[in-house]
A and B are shown apart, each in its own frame.
Chain A
Amino acid sequence: MTTEDHIIQESIASLGEINVPAALQSRIHDHQRHLMGLASSLLAGGHSRESVQRAIEVVMESFKHELTIAIAALVEKQNAQ
Protein backbone atom coordinates (compact mmCIF):
# COMPACT_ATOMS: atom_id res chain seq x y z
CA MET A 1 0.00 0.00 0.00
CA THR A 2 1.37 3.45 -0.93
CA THR A 3 1.61 6.40 1.45
CA GLU A 4 -1.33 8.11 -0.25
CA ASP A 5 -3.38 4.89 0.04
CA HIS A 6 -2.79 4.90 3.79
CA ILE A 7 -3.73 8.56 4.12
CA ILE A 8 -6.90 8.18 2.08
CA GLN A 9 -7.95 4.99 3.88
CA GLU A 10 -7.60 6.68 7.24
CA SER A 11 -9.48 9.74 6.05
CA ILE A 12 -12.28 7.92 4.25
CA ALA A 13 -12.81 5.73 7.32
CA SER A 14 -14.50 8.71 8.97
CA LEU A 15 -17.38 8.20 6.52
CA GLY A 16 -18.03 4.79 8.07
CA GLU A 17 -20.39 6.29 10.60
CA ILE A 18 -22.62 7.72 7.85
CA ASN A 19 -25.24 5.55 6.19
CA VAL A 20 -24.73 6.59 2.56
CA PRO A 21 -27.67 5.87 0.20
CA ALA A 22 -26.94 3.85 -2.93
CA ALA A 23 -27.65 6.93 -5.07
CA LEU A 24 -24.63 8.67 -3.58
CA GLN A 25 -22.18 5.75 -3.45
CA SER A 26 -20.63 6.63 -6.81
CA ARG A 27 -19.91 10.14 -5.48
CA ILE A 28 -17.93 8.64 -2.64
CA HIS A 29 -15.83 6.65 -5.11
CA ASP A 30 -15.27 9.72 -7.29
CA HIS A 31 -14.28 11.75 -4.28
CA GLN A 32 -11.92 9.03 -3.09
CA ARG A 33 -10.27 9.12 -6.53
CA HIS A 34 -9.91 12.91 -6.34
CA LEU A 35 -8.45 12.69 -2.84
CA MET A 36 -5.96 10.11 -4.07
CA GLY A 37 -4.93 12.44 -6.89
CA LEU A 38 -4.61 15.33 -4.47
CA ALA A 39 -2.55 13.34 -1.97
CA SER A 40 -0.26 12.09 -4.75
CA SER A 41 0.28 15.57 -6.16
CA LEU A 42 0.98 17.04 -2.71
CA LEU A 43 3.48 14.29 -1.90
CA ALA A 44 5.09 14.71 -5.33
CA GLY A 45 5.33 18.43 -4.61
CA GLY A 46 7.50 17.70 -1.58
CA HIS A 47 4.92 18.15 1.16
CA SER A 48 5.37 16.03 4.26
CA ARG A 49 3.10 13.11 5.05
CA GLU A 50 1.74 15.03 8.07
CA SER A 51 0.84 18.12 6.05
CA VAL A 52 -0.75 15.99 3.33
CA GLN A 53 -2.73 14.18 6.01
CA ARG A 54 -3.93 17.50 7.40
CA ALA A 55 -4.89 18.77 3.95
CA ILE A 56 -6.84 15.62 3.14
CA GLU A 57 -8.62 15.83 6.48
CA VAL A 58 -9.73 19.40 5.75
CA VAL A 59 -11.02 18.42 2.32
CA MET A 60 -12.69 15.31 3.73
CA GLU A 61 -14.41 17.32 6.44
CA SER A 62 -15.76 19.70 3.82
CA PHE A 63 -17.00 16.80 1.68
CA LYS A 64 -18.61 15.16 4.69
CA HIS A 65 -20.50 18.38 5.37
CA GLU A 66 -21.92 18.47 1.82
CA LEU A 67 -22.60 14.74 1.89
CA THR A 68 -24.64 15.03 5.06
CA ILE A 69 -26.73 17.81 3.51
CA ALA A 70 -27.23 15.77 0.32
CA ILE A 71 -28.32 12.70 2.30
CA ALA A 72 -30.78 14.76 4.34
CA ALA A 73 -32.22 16.21 1.12
CA LEU A 74 -32.57 12.75 -0.45
CA VAL A 75 -34.37 11.45 2.62
CA GLU A 76 -36.67 14.48 2.58
CA LYS A 77 -37.45 13.89 -1.12
CA GLN A 78 -38.18 10.21 -0.49
CA ASN A 79 -40.49 11.08 2.38
CA ALA A 80 -42.30 13.62 0.21
CA GLN A 81 -43.08 11.01 -2.46
Chain B
Amino acid sequence: MLNNLKQDEAGRMMALHRLDILDTQVEQPFEKIVELVQQVINVPMCAVSLIDADRQWFKACRGLDVCETARDVSFCTHAIQSIDPFIVRDATLDPRFANNPLVTDEPHIRSYAGIPLLTPEGYVVGTLCAIDRVAREFPDHEIAILSNFAKVIVSELELRQIASTDSLTGALTRRAWMERARIELNRAWRHDRPLSILMIDIDRFKTINDTLGHPVGDLVIKRFAELFMKTLRNSDALGRYGGEEFCALLPETSLENAGLLAERLRVLCFQEEISELNGLHVSVSVGLTSRQNGTNDVLAMIEEADRALYHAKKSGRNCCQSYEDLSRELSSSVA
Protein backbone atom coordinates (compact mmCIF):
# COMPACT_ATOMS: atom_id res chain seq x y z
CA MET B 1 0.00 0.00 0.00
CA LEU B 2 1.35 3.42 -0.90
CA ASN B 3 1.54 6.10 1.73
CA ASN B 4 -0.95 8.78 0.69
CA LEU B 5 1.12 11.48 2.34
CA LYS B 6 4.45 10.53 0.85
CA GLN B 7 4.61 13.57 -1.41
CA ASP B 8 3.98 15.92 1.49
CA GLU B 9 7.64 16.33 2.42
CA ALA B 10 7.05 19.62 4.24
CA GLY B 11 4.42 17.97 6.45
CA ARG B 12 6.67 14.99 7.02
CA MET B 13 9.52 17.24 8.08
CA MET B 14 7.24 19.11 10.47
CA ALA B 15 6.11 15.80 11.98
CA LEU B 16 9.75 14.81 12.41
CA HIS B 17 10.68 18.09 14.03
CA ARG B 18 7.66 17.93 16.33
CA LEU B 19 9.16 14.76 17.76
CA ASP B 20 12.11 16.89 18.82
CA ILE B 21 14.49 13.97 18.74
CA LEU B 22 17.08 14.83 16.07
CA ASP B 23 20.60 15.24 17.45
CA THR B 24 19.59 14.23 20.95
CA GLN B 25 22.05 12.21 23.01
CA VAL B 26 22.43 8.45 23.09
CA GLU B 27 19.73 7.01 25.32
CA GLN B 28 19.81 3.55 26.81
CA PRO B 29 16.12 2.71 26.30
CA PHE B 30 16.43 3.07 22.50
CA GLU B 31 19.84 1.39 22.49
CA LYS B 32 18.43 -1.61 24.34
CA ILE B 33 15.57 -1.99 21.89
CA VAL B 34 17.97 -1.88 18.94
CA GLU B 35 20.24 -4.42 20.62
CA LEU B 36 17.25 -6.65 21.14
CA VAL B 37 16.19 -6.35 17.51
CA GLN B 38 19.74 -7.18 16.41
CA GLN B 39 19.73 -10.36 18.50
CA VAL B 40 16.22 -11.48 17.55
CA ILE B 41 16.65 -10.93 13.80
CA ASN B 42 20.29 -12.03 13.95
CA VAL B 43 21.82 -9.24 11.88
CA PRO B 44 25.16 -7.46 12.35
CA MET B 45 23.63 -3.99 11.92
CA CYS B 46 20.41 -2.46 13.12
CA ALA B 47 19.23 1.13 13.57
CA VAL B 48 16.43 3.52 14.36
CA SER B 49 16.99 5.89 11.45
CA LEU B 50 15.28 9.27 11.12
CA ILE B 51 15.21 10.92 7.72
CA ASP B 52 16.02 14.62 7.92
CA ALA B 53 16.08 17.02 4.95
CA ASP B 54 19.51 15.98 3.71
CA ARG B 55 20.69 13.20 6.01
CA GLN B 56 19.63 10.10 7.86
CA TRP B 57 20.38 10.35 11.54
CA PHE B 58 20.49 7.34 13.83
CA LYS B 59 18.72 7.71 17.14
CA ALA B 60 20.15 4.34 18.06
CA CYS B 61 22.28 1.89 16.15
CA ARG B 62 24.30 -1.29 16.47
CA GLY B 63 27.13 -2.36 14.21
CA LEU B 64 27.46 1.03 12.48
CA ASP B 65 30.34 3.38 13.23
CA VAL B 66 28.58 6.59 12.22
CA CYS B 67 25.64 8.50 13.68
CA GLU B 68 24.47 9.86 10.34
CA THR B 69 24.94 9.52 6.57
CA ALA B 70 23.91 11.61 3.59
CA ARG B 71 20.26 11.06 2.77
CA ASP B 72 20.84 10.43 -0.92
CA VAL B 73 22.83 7.25 -0.29
CA SER B 74 20.61 5.91 2.47
CA PHE B 75 18.43 2.85 1.96
CA CYS B 76 15.97 4.28 4.47
CA THR B 77 15.11 7.19 2.21
CA HIS B 78 13.64 4.59 -0.16
CA ALA B 79 11.87 2.86 2.72
CA ILE B 80 9.99 6.01 3.76
CA GLN B 81 8.33 6.28 0.35
CA SER B 82 5.72 3.75 1.44
CA ILE B 83 4.14 2.55 4.66
CA ASP B 84 5.00 -1.06 3.76
CA PRO B 85 8.22 -2.85 4.74
CA PHE B 86 11.04 -2.16 2.29
CA ILE B 87 13.20 -5.19 1.62
CA VAL B 88 16.38 -5.56 -0.41
CA ARG B 89 17.54 -9.18 -0.53
CA ASP B 90 20.75 -8.54 -2.44
CA ALA B 91 21.85 -4.96 -2.98
CA THR B 92 24.50 -5.97 -5.51
CA LEU B 93 21.75 -7.24 -7.80
CA ASP B 94 19.52 -4.21 -7.33
CA PRO B 95 20.26 -1.40 -9.84
CA ARG B 96 19.15 1.20 -7.27
CA PHE B 97 21.89 0.12 -4.85
CA ALA B 98 24.56 -1.84 -6.71
CA ASN B 99 26.84 1.21 -6.97
CA ASN B 100 25.84 2.76 -3.66
CA PRO B 101 28.97 3.59 -1.58
CA LEU B 102 27.38 1.93 1.46
CA VAL B 103 27.31 -1.26 -0.63
CA THR B 104 30.62 -1.02 -2.45
CA ASP B 105 32.53 0.29 0.61
CA GLU B 106 32.10 0.09 4.38
CA PRO B 107 29.80 -1.05 5.88
CA HIS B 108 29.24 -3.28 2.80
CA ILE B 109 25.48 -3.51 3.04
CA ARG B 110 24.19 -6.49 1.12
CA SER B 111 20.66 -6.95 2.43
CA TYR B 112 18.24 -4.62 4.16
CA ALA B 113 14.80 -4.66 5.76
CA GLY B 114 13.34 -1.28 6.77
CA ILE B 115 10.04 -0.85 8.57
CA PRO B 116 8.62 2.67 8.25
CA LEU B 117 8.08 4.54 11.53
CA LEU B 118 4.57 5.84 10.90
CA THR B 119 3.27 8.64 13.13
CA PRO B 120 -0.44 8.78 14.04
CA GLU B 121 -0.88 11.63 11.52
CA GLY B 122 0.30 9.28 8.79
CA TYR B 123 3.81 10.60 8.22
CA VAL B 124 6.76 8.27 7.88
CA VAL B 125 9.58 9.94 9.82
CA GLY B 126 12.15 7.17 9.57
CA THR B 127 12.62 3.44 9.84
CA LEU B 128 13.59 0.62 12.08
CA CYS B 129 16.03 -1.23 9.89
CA ALA B 130 17.88 -4.52 10.01
CA ILE B 131 20.97 -4.76 7.80
CA ASP B 132 23.21 -7.66 6.84
CA ARG B 133 26.55 -8.03 5.03
CA VAL B 134 25.35 -11.13 3.20
CA ALA B 135 22.46 -11.63 0.81
CA ARG B 136 19.49 -13.00 2.71
CA GLU B 137 15.74 -13.34 2.89
CA PHE B 138 13.71 -11.65 5.58
CA PRO B 139 10.92 -14.15 6.15
CA ASP B 140 7.40 -13.02 7.08
CA HIS B 141 7.79 -13.80 10.77
CA GLU B 142 10.90 -11.57 10.98
CA ILE B 143 9.07 -8.76 9.21
CA ALA B 144 6.19 -9.19 11.68
CA ILE B 145 8.62 -8.96 14.60
CA LEU B 146 10.32 -5.88 13.13
CA SER B 147 6.93 -4.26 12.45
CA ASN B 148 5.86 -4.77 16.05
CA PHE B 149 9.13 -3.35 17.34
CA ALA B 150 8.57 -0.35 15.05
CA LYS B 151 5.12 0.23 16.59
CA VAL B 152 6.68 0.12 20.05
CA ILE B 153 9.27 2.71 19.02
CA VAL B 154 6.63 5.04 17.57
CA SER B 155 4.57 4.71 20.72
CA GLU B 156 7.61 5.76 22.78
CA LEU B 157 8.29 8.67 20.45
CA GLU B 158 4.68 9.79 20.90
CA LEU B 159 5.07 9.72 24.68
CA ARG B 160 8.18 11.81 24.32
CA GLN B 161 6.24 14.28 22.18
CA ILE B 162 3.57 14.61 24.87
CA ALA B 163 6.29 15.42 27.37
CA SER B 164 7.89 18.07 25.19
CA THR B 165 4.80 19.75 23.72
CA ASP B 166 2.66 22.47 25.24
CA SER B 167 -0.89 21.12 25.17
CA LEU B 168 -2.63 24.44 24.35
CA THR B 169 -0.43 25.57 21.48
CA GLY B 170 1.52 22.59 20.17
CA ALA B 171 4.74 24.59 20.68
CA LEU B 172 7.61 23.08 22.64
CA THR B 173 7.51 23.38 26.40
CA ARG B 174 10.05 25.74 27.92
CA ARG B 175 12.21 22.83 29.06
CA ALA B 176 12.15 21.11 25.64
CA TRP B 177 12.86 24.37 23.85
CA MET B 178 15.83 25.07 26.11
CA GLU B 179 17.18 21.62 25.37
CA ARG B 180 16.79 22.17 21.63
CA ALA B 181 18.36 25.63 21.93
CA ARG B 182 21.42 24.16 23.68
CA ILE B 183 21.86 21.56 20.92
CA GLU B 184 21.46 24.09 18.10
CA LEU B 185 23.65 26.71 19.73
CA ASN B 186 26.40 24.17 20.27
CA ARG B 187 26.15 23.17 16.64
CA ALA B 188 26.29 26.83 15.53
CA TRP B 189 29.27 27.38 17.81
CA ARG B 190 31.15 24.31 16.48
CA HIS B 191 30.62 25.27 12.85
CA ASP B 192 30.72 29.03 13.43
CA ARG B 193 27.26 29.51 11.94
CA PRO B 194 24.73 32.25 12.64
CA LEU B 195 21.80 31.65 14.98
CA SER B 196 19.17 34.02 16.33
CA ILE B 197 16.57 33.98 19.06
CA LEU B 198 13.27 35.86 19.24
CA MET B 199 11.29 36.47 22.42
CA ILE B 200 7.71 37.36 21.57
CA ASP B 201 5.21 38.66 24.09
CA ILE B 202 1.52 39.37 23.51
CA ASP B 203 0.82 42.99 24.43
CA ARG B 204 -1.69 43.87 27.17
CA PHE B 205 -2.63 40.24 27.55
CA LYS B 206 -3.88 40.68 31.09
CA THR B 207 -6.45 43.18 29.81
CA ILE B 208 -7.71 40.62 27.26
CA ASN B 209 -8.10 38.02 30.00
CA ASP B 210 -9.73 40.47 32.40
CA THR B 211 -12.18 41.99 29.95
CA LEU B 212 -12.99 39.11 27.58
CA GLY B 213 -12.24 36.13 29.79
CA HIS B 214 -9.59 33.42 29.92
CA PRO B 215 -11.08 31.28 27.11
CA VAL B 216 -10.61 34.21 24.71
CA GLY B 217 -7.10 34.77 26.10
CA ASP B 218 -6.31 31.11 25.44
CA LEU B 219 -7.72 31.43 21.93
CA VAL B 220 -5.43 34.38 21.19
CA ILE B 221 -2.41 32.43 22.45
CA LYS B 222 -3.41 29.43 20.33
CA ARG B 223 -4.05 31.45 17.16
CA PHE B 224 -0.79 33.37 17.45
CA ALA B 225 1.12 30.12 18.05
CA GLU B 226 -0.44 28.67 14.89
CA LEU B 227 0.55 31.78 13.01
CA PHE B 228 4.13 31.58 14.29
CA MET B 229 4.44 27.89 13.44
CA LYS B 230 3.05 28.46 9.96
CA THR B 231 5.57 31.24 9.34
CA LEU B 232 8.69 29.67 10.85
CA ARG B 233 10.75 27.13 8.89
CA ASN B 234 10.81 23.43 9.72
CA SER B 235 14.29 23.83 11.12
CA ASP B 236 13.22 26.61 13.52
CA ALA B 237 11.73 25.80 16.91
CA LEU B 238 8.90 27.59 18.65
CA GLY B 239 8.57 27.30 22.40
CA ARG B 240 6.00 28.60 24.87
CA TYR B 241 8.31 30.29 27.31
CA GLY B 242 5.69 31.46 29.77
CA GLY B 243 1.97 32.30 29.83
CA GLU B 244 1.76 34.65 26.83
CA GLU B 245 5.45 34.67 25.99
CA PHE B 246 6.95 32.65 23.13
CA CYS B 247 10.51 32.04 22.08
CA ALA B 248 11.68 31.15 18.59
CA LEU B 249 15.00 29.54 17.83
CA LEU B 250 16.29 30.36 14.36
CA PRO B 251 19.33 28.32 13.28
CA GLU B 252 21.33 29.59 10.29
CA THR B 253 19.73 33.01 10.64
CA SER B 254 21.60 36.30 10.79
CA LEU B 255 20.48 39.22 12.93
CA GLU B 256 19.28 41.04 9.80
CA ASN B 257 17.10 38.14 8.65
CA ALA B 258 15.84 37.54 12.18
CA GLY B 259 14.81 41.21 12.28
CA LEU B 260 12.88 40.83 9.02
CA LEU B 261 11.13 37.73 10.34
CA ALA B 262 10.33 39.42 13.66
CA GLU B 263 8.76 42.33 11.84
CA ARG B 264 6.76 39.98 9.62
CA LEU B 265 5.42 38.12 12.66
CA ARG B 266 4.55 41.39 14.37
CA VAL B 267 2.55 42.60 11.35
CA LEU B 268 0.82 39.22 10.88
CA CYS B 269 -0.27 39.18 14.51
CA PHE B 270 -1.69 42.69 14.34
CA GLN B 271 -3.57 41.85 11.13
CA GLU B 272 -5.00 38.63 12.53
CA GLU B 273 -8.79 38.74 12.71
CA ILE B 274 -10.17 36.90 15.75
CA SER B 275 -13.94 37.28 15.86
CA GLU B 276 -14.10 36.69 19.63
CA LEU B 277 -12.11 39.90 20.11
CA ASN B 278 -15.03 42.00 18.79
CA GLY B 279 -12.92 43.95 16.31
CA LEU B 280 -9.99 44.46 18.68
CA HIS B 281 -6.54 43.92 17.18
CA VAL B 282 -3.93 42.41 19.45
CA SER B 283 -0.26 43.20 18.99
CA VAL B 284 3.00 41.59 20.02
CA SER B 285 6.36 42.98 21.02
CA VAL B 286 9.51 41.19 19.95
CA GLY B 287 13.01 41.16 21.37
CA LEU B 288 15.74 39.51 19.34
CA THR B 289 19.38 38.70 19.49
CA SER B 290 21.96 36.82 17.44
CA ARG B 291 24.90 34.66 18.37
CA GLN B 292 27.76 37.06 18.90
CA ASN B 293 31.39 36.74 19.86
CA GLY B 294 31.41 32.96 19.65
CA THR B 295 28.98 32.49 22.54
CA ASN B 296 27.47 29.08 23.24
CA ASP B 297 25.57 30.22 26.31
CA VAL B 298 21.81 29.87 25.77
CA LEU B 299 20.87 31.61 29.00
CA ALA B 300 22.99 34.63 28.06
CA MET B 301 21.24 34.86 24.68
CA ILE B 302 17.81 34.55 26.29
CA GLU B 303 18.70 37.31 28.71
CA GLU B 304 19.75 39.52 25.80
CA ALA B 305 16.53 38.85 23.90
CA ASP B 306 14.55 39.44 27.08
CA ARG B 307 16.23 42.79 27.68
CA ALA B 308 15.47 43.79 24.11
CA LEU B 309 11.85 42.70 24.61
CA TYR B 310 11.60 44.76 27.79
CA HIS B 311 12.86 47.76 25.85
CA ALA B 312 10.31 47.14 23.06
CA LYS B 313 7.55 47.12 25.69
CA LYS B 314 8.86 50.32 27.23
CA SER B 315 9.00 51.95 23.78
CA GLY B 316 5.25 51.63 23.37
CA ARG B 317 4.76 47.93 22.42
CA ASN B 318 3.80 46.56 18.97
CA CYS B 319 7.41 46.81 17.83
CA CYS B 320 10.62 44.82 17.45
CA GLN B 321 13.90 45.57 19.17
CA SER B 322 17.25 43.87 18.70
CA TYR B 323 19.66 43.56 21.60
CA GLU B 324 22.51 44.56 19.32
CA ASP B 325 20.85 47.90 18.41
CA LEU B 326 19.94 48.44 22.03
CA SER B 327 23.49 47.95 23.30
CA ARG B 328 24.83 50.21 20.52
CA GLU B 329 22.37 52.92 21.55
CA LEU B 330 23.29 52.50 25.21
CA SER B 331 27.03 52.68 24.54
CA SER B 332 26.69 55.76 22.32
CA SER B 333 24.55 57.51 24.96
CA VAL B 334 27.17 56.70 27.62
CA ALA B 335 29.91 58.02 25.34
Mark A residues whose CB is within 8 Å of B: 23-24, 27, 30-31, 34-35, 37-38, 41-42, 44-47, 55, 58-59, 61-63, 65-67, 69-70, 72-74, 76-77
Contact = CB atoms under 8 A, between A and B. Distances in A.
Contacts of B173: 73, 76-77
Contacts of B167: 77
Interface in B131-171: 141-142, 144-145, 147-149, 151-152, 155-156, 158-160, 162-164, 166-167
A70 B165 CA distance: 10
B40 interface: yes
Interface string B16-35: 00000000000001101100
Interface string B166-183: 110000010100000000
Interface string B48-88: 00000000000000000000000000000000000000000
Given A34-B151, A63-B152, A44 B141 contact: yes
B36 interface: yes
B160 A69 contact: yes
B162 A55 contact: no
Contact of B33 (A23, A24, A58, A74): A58
Nearest to A62: B29
Interface centre among A30, A41, A47, A76 (most CB of B within 10 A): A41
Given A30-B155, A37-B151, A44-B141, A61 B29 contact: yes
B155 A31 contact: yes
A77 B321 CA distance: 30
Given A41-B144, A42-B145, A61 B40 contact: no
Given A24-B162, A73-B175, A66 B144 contact: no
Which secondary structure dominates where chain B touches chain A? helix
A34 B152 contact: yes
B152 A67 contact: no
A63 B141 contact: no
Given A61-B29, A73-B164, A45 B144 contact: yes
Contacts of B163: 66, 69-70, 72-74
Contacts of A30: 155
28 contacts: A23-B162, A27-B158, A31-B152, A37-B151, A38-B148, A41-B147, A41-B148, A42-B145, A44-B141, A45-B141, A45-B144, A45-B145, A46-B141, A55-B40, A58-B32, A59-B149, A62-B32, A62-B33, A63-B152, A66-B159, A66-B160, A69-B159, A69-B160, A70-B162, A73-B162, A74-B162, A74-B163, A77-B166
